[in-house]
Amino acid sequence: MFRLANPNRFMHWSGKLLPWCAVSTALLLAIGTWLALFVAPADYQQGEAVRIMYVHVPAAWMASFVYAMMAISSAVALIWRHPVADIAARESAPLGAGFTLLCLVSGSLWGEPMWGTWWVWDARLTSVLVLFFLYLGYIALVNAFDEPTRGARAGAILALVGAVNLPIIKFSVDWWNTLHQPASVFRIGGPTIDPAMLWPLLIMAVGFTFFYVTLLLVRMRSALMAAKLRALRLQQSLAA
């Protein structure tokens, strides 16, 4: 971890790693999509619409995974002043927000044929929506300062406060829902999912993770290059 604190060394390693990640992403997503669309059976109750699951569930998983990554990178950045961790946290946020939005939209599209409505104030839906707003708040805060390092430091503290609060919000929202609504009618799948559906799902999930890592590396590399460019320009203007 500390060896990667040097941006030049990070650029070297990430440059080597990037093609492998990109190829794995493409392969896994292609295989996963093929399995999900053509091989996996249709659900006896939901018919073909169940295939939305292969996008929706990995996206939901990534939404919380990326937040966890963001919080860990923020902690590393705050504790050890690790410059690359700072960038990792900042560049993860838009990706996480994207996965969260994908989860919400695909869930909405799934809900319409299944439950007959685009949106329900169900505990799970609501906590994902709150997570989306936490991402938006983080992105807004990081970009609200003229000085980029200020934004990163403030964002790191916010990410950690959010990480402490997220379980509390999740738990309270769960409870709020069970108090005010009768038992949910829409329990889909459950843990008794058939292996024929489980395998495509797992492959898609790993594919999504590689997709995130690939995009994150690309974003971090371009952020580092942009910082270098800024420094060079500053040097030039000082010399001139």
Partner 1 sequence: MVVAFFVLTVILFPFGVGPEPELLQRIAAGIVWVTALLAALLSLERLFQSDYEDGSLEALALLPLPLEIQVLAKCLAHWLVSGLPLTLVAPLLGLLLHLDAAGYPALMLGMALGTPVLSLLGAVGAALCLGARRGGVLLSLLVLPLYIPVLIFGVAAIEAEIGGFGPRPHLLLLAALLILALTLVPFAAAGALRQALE
- Site residues for partner 1 per CB under 8 A: 78, 130, 133-134, 136-137, 140-141, 144-146, 150, 153-154, 157-158, 160-162, 164-165, 168-169, 172-173, 175-176, 179
CB of 237 to partner 1, least distance (A): 25
Query: Is the CB of 175 or the CB of 186 nearer to partner 1?
Result: 175
CB of 155 to partner 1, least distance (A): 8
> CA-CA-CA-CA torsion for 97, 103, 106, 112, nearest 10 degrees?
-120
DSSP 91-110: HHHHHHHHHHHHHHHHHHHH
DSSP 152-177: HHHHHHHHHHHHHHHHHHHHHHHHHH
CB of 126 to partner 1, least distance (A): 9
Q: Is 238 exposed, middle or buried (0-12, 13-18, 19+ CB in 10 A)?
A: exposed
Query: Is the CB of 26 or the CB of 169 nearer to partner 1?
Result: 169
Query: Is the CB of 46 or the CB of 124 nearer to partner 1?
Result: 124
Nearest to 201 by CA among 37, 64, 46: 37
Rounded Cα distance, 125 and 138, in Å: 20
CB of 25 to partner 1, least distance (A): 31
Query: Is the CB of 93 or the CB of 203 nearer to partner 1?
Result: 93
Query: Is the CB of 152 or the CB of 203 nearer to partner 1?
Result: 152
CB of 109 to partner 1, least distance (A): 24
- The amino acid sitting at 43 is D
